[in-house]
Amino acid sequence: MDHKCNKPDYADIARYESSREGEHHHRGKSSESLLNKDAILSSLAITPGQTILDAGCGNGYMAKEFSRRVGNRGKVYALDPDEIAISTLRTEAQETNMLAMVGDITTTTHLPESAFDLVYLSTVFHGFSPEQIKGFEMEVKRLFSPHGKLAIVEIVNRVTPFGPALERRFSPEELQQVLGLTPLATVEVGEYFYMQIFGNRPGE
């Protein structure tokens, strides 16, 4: 893989994730320097007019990419429980097609039902408890448009120089087992990351 455009920043990597005494720390972390954005964006094939949710958006760097691609007719929602991150993003998003909201994607949110062409969740899923996974699946199904897709970016489930404890990680196959959605594709999106794309299960 060519990492020229995506050279890892090792200081960022050290900050990316830490696990202390079983606690899971997410706040203020960004995956930006660790992921191949071009691979992500080309696999997602975003088109003007789409409605996209960046769930657990952090600093919103991907929400901004989505915002440029969906254009004036589209809409991007950036959701995160971190009030400081959302407040900063809200200021940046003024008079754009992006709406930054405080919220928890593992519960019923204030986001519009059946509206989303894409729900994107990057380096968030491994922090969910089994109950949160159930809540997440229910909420994503509520938000999906009939042809909606879910894209989950996660760290690989093997030893890496950084990242959460191995027992918190999911391989693509494990993600496919825990979520009742149709797996569409698995894409390598960084030396240590993959993106699993799902569609709505037919008939639901």
Ligand X SMILES: C[S@@+](CC[C@H](N)C(=O)[O-])C[C@H]1O[C@@H](n2cnc3c(N)ncnc32)[C@H](O)[C@@H]1O
Q: Which is nearer to ligand X, 20 or 147 (CB)?
A: 20
Choose, by CB under 6 A, the member of 82, 92, 137, 188 that binds ligand X. Answer: 82
Smallest gap from Cβ 159 to ligand X, in A, equals: 19
Options 7-15, 38-46, 77-85, 177-185: segment touching ligand X (CB under 6 A): 77-85
Choose, by CB under 6 A, the member of 123, 125, 150, 157 that binds ligand X. Answer: 123
Smallest gap from Cβ 104 to ligand X, in A, equals: 4
Q: Which residues pair with 77 in a beta bridge?
A: 53, 99
Q: Which residues pair with 96 in a beta bridge?
A: none
Options 120-128, 155-163, 174-182, 195-203: segment touching ligand X (CB under 6 A): 120-128
By CB under 6 A, residue 58 contacts ligand X: yes
d(CA 31, CA 35): 6
DSSP, res 76: E
Q: Binding-site residue total for ligand X (CB under 6 A)?
A: 22
Smallest gap from Cβ 153 to ligand X, in A, equals: 7
CB atoms within 10 A of CB 28: 11
Options 76-84, 87-95, 168-176, 188-196: segment touching ligand X (CB under 6 A): 76-84
Residue-wise DSSP of 140-194: HHHHEEEEEEEEEEEE-SS--SSSS-GGG---HHHHHHHS-SEEEEEEEEETTEE
Residue 14: CA count within 13 A, CB half-sphere: 2
By CB under 6 A, residue 191 contacts ligand X: no
Contact 153, 185 (CB under 8 A): no
Contact 44, 118 (CB under 8 A): yes
Q: Which residue is nearest to ligand X (CB)?
A: 58
**Chain length of the chain:** 204
Smallest gap from Cβ 202 to ligand X, in A, equals: 27
By CB under 6 A, residue 81 contacts ligand X: yes
Binding site for ligand X (CB under 6 A): 26-27, 29-32, 55-58, 79-82, 85, 104-106, 122-124, 127
